[in-house]
Amino acid sequence: MRILLASSEVFPFSKTGGLADMVGALAKTLCHLGHEVGIISPLYAGIKEGNPSLELLSVELQISLGYSLIPGGVWYLRGSAGERLYFLQNDHFFNRPNYYAEQGQDYPDNDARFIFFSKAVAHLAQNLEWKPEIMHVHDWQVGLVPLFIRDHLKRGLRGNHPATILTLHNLAYQGVFPESSYALTELPLEYFRFDSVEFYGQMNCLKSGIVFADLLTTVSPRYSREILSEEFGCGLEGALRMRQNQLTGILNGVDYSEWNTHKNKSLVAAYSLDDLRGKSANKLAVQAELELSVREDVPLFGIVSRLTDQKGVDICLGALEVMLEEDIQFALLGSGQPEFEASFLRLAAKHSKKVAIHIGYNQGLAHRIEAGSDFFLMPSRFEPCGLNQMYSLKYGTIPIVRAVGGLDDSIIDASDDKNHANGIKFDEYSVRALVESMRKALVIHADPERLSFYRRNGMGVNFDWEKTAKEYIRAYERAIDSIDLT
């Protein structure tokens, strides 16, 4: 099968979270399964310098944006698994310090940036020589692509017309812009209606994809059910209910070539399900690196996360105020809302040998916190899939999660199945519920045999991408069969 993916970020070239990991891993796995795969992503600052093998293709794009022609270049690279990587260049739009925002504020021209990107993606999907059969787009930044392809077909224009599939990674981010932004698409006004692109008088890029893609997926089965409700639908539950027969949930996989404990340059010692001794060495090493008290006996709780409302940061801060009266440690790597960053830094100043806060992102440190922690906190308000709980399991680190979305799909609490328990789950979104779960963790930590039981159960779970990729293949086949040519 010939498959083209489009995403605003793709690991290892650009990343803010799980979206990049998912797209990069899916593409590689599809290639390993024998499919022809391409990825389109923006050429952000630093990508060209970090990848000297990139070559500029002879394709010269002239994308019409609000009836002005905007030039674009296409850079090409073969990935490690044979995937075709296309990077769309426009220095004005993409050569910036960050991908979407600076100092907590979205770039004011994000509408133009990603309408330009979506138009370029649709153009390439229709004109690449290898003629992809599937156009798989991810999140709002390419949410308009299915409509551009559908409109192109409707007007009888020549070119390739692949089936389209939209994966919803996080419904909280929708790409909502003023009505005036719609003019940049140059699409007929007939699409600016309540049952297509229009959303309370504004343009909604994600809603466009929901309405016009041939098939919809989410990144976990539970999330595909949750988003049909008002609580989790973020205002789009009506549109999603209209398409629920074309909606399916596929749990993300883990790229174990990247996230493993035995061939990992980021870790100081290897360990495995059969020999856990190296986990202690990694704990002592990360304590020293983060200037915590170096003690094997103290429970270490870790977080690697964006610091946003979604991630349960408020109840985490409240729970830590209570739990730091106990003999525990806490390590955090992440960035996000300035008020949350400041709150964690104050916590570190108050408990300097018990709390370590690293604002920003560091891939190597993310691995070391995962490996060195005893418990990993993910008390999310909602979580479409989550990957860190899966990384934690592989690293023998016990996840403490709220039972929502992919967290509920991937973690087994003792109340679910005491023989296969690998984590701690709670339902109520409150400081009290998280404190209670962390106290359960202390009980587990105090019992070496029980602690080893949880660790071994977690490390024995397999979220290999091959199983997930095969589910996507079935979804692609379904999308081709159900393509709407009207």
In the predicted model, is pLDDT for residue 28 greater than 70? yes
- pLDDT attached to residue 386: 92
Question: What is the pLDDT confidence band of residue 102, given thresholds at 50, 70 and 90?
Answer: confident
Question: What is the pLDDT confidence band of residue 153, given thresholds at 50, 70 and 90?
Answer: confident
- pLDDT attached to residue 458: 97
Contact 56, 422 (CB under 8 A): no
Candidates 65, 68, 157; CA nearest to 119 is 65
Residues 121-134 have pLDDT tens digits of 999 999 999 999 99
Tallying the residues shown for the chain, one arrives at: 486
Contacts of 414 (CB under 8 A, 6+ apart): 421
- pLDDT attached to residue 467: 93
b/e string for 216-227 if b means 16 or more Cβ within 10 A?
bbbbbbbbbebb
Give the start-end residues of each E strand in 109-171: 134-138, 163-168
- pLDDT attached to residue 330: 98
Average pLDDT over residues 122-151: 96
- pLDDT attached to residue 160: 86
Residues 215-257 have pLDDT tens digits of 999 999 999 999 999 999 999 999 999 999 999 999 999 989 8
Candidates 11, 48, 51, 471; CA nearest to 257 is 11
- pLDDT attached to residue 158: 78
Contacts of 277 (CB under 8 A, 6+ apart): 269, 271
- pLDDT attached to residue 290: 97
In the predicted model, is pLDDT for residue 332 greater than 60? yes
Average pLDDT over residues 26-55: 97
- pLDDT attached to residue 484: 58
In the predicted model, is pLDDT for residue 277 greater than 80? yes
- pLDDT attached to residue 59: 87
- pLDDT attached to residue 18: 85
Taking all residues of the chain, what is their mean pLDDT, rounded to a whole number? 95
Between CA 30 and CA 26 the distance in angstroms is 6
Residues 177-223 have pLDDT tens digits of 999 999 999 999 999 999 999 999 999 999 999 999 999 999 999 99
Question: What is the pLDDT confidence band of residue 155, given thresholds at 50, 70 and 90?
Answer: confident
- pLDDT attached to residue 483: 72
Candidates 220, 145, 151, 150; CA nearest to 175 is 145
Q: What six digits make up the tokens of 308?
A: 């946003």
Between CA 326 and CA 83 the distance in angstroms is 50
pLDDT greater at residue 339 or residue 158: 339
Q: Which residue has the tokens 């007007």?
A: 155
Report the half-sphere exposure of 256 (CA within 13 A, side-chain side): 16
Q: Which residue segments constitute the domains of the chain, with CATH numbers given?
A: 2-253+466-481 (3.40.50.2000), 277-463 (3.40.50.2000)
Question: What is the pLDDT confidence band of residue 103, given thresholds at 50, 70 and 90?
Answer: confident
Between CA 456 and CA 476 the distance in angstroms is 35
Between CA 285 and CA 271 the distance in angstroms is 14
Residues 415-451 have pLDDT tens digits of 999 999 999 999 999 999 999 999 999 999 999 999 9
Whether the predicted model's global pTM rises above the 0.85 cut: yes
In the predicted model, is pLDDT for residue 486 greater than 70? no
Average pLDDT over residues 42-65: 95
Residues 340-392 have pLDDT tens digits of 999 999 999 999 899 999 999 899 999 999 999 999 999 999 999 999 999 99
Average pLDDT over residues 51-59: 94
In the predicted model, is pLDDT for residue 485 greater than 70? no
Cβ atoms within 10 A of the Cβ of 305, count? 26
Question: What is the pLDDT confidence band of residue 154, given thresholds at 50, 70 and 90?
Answer: confident
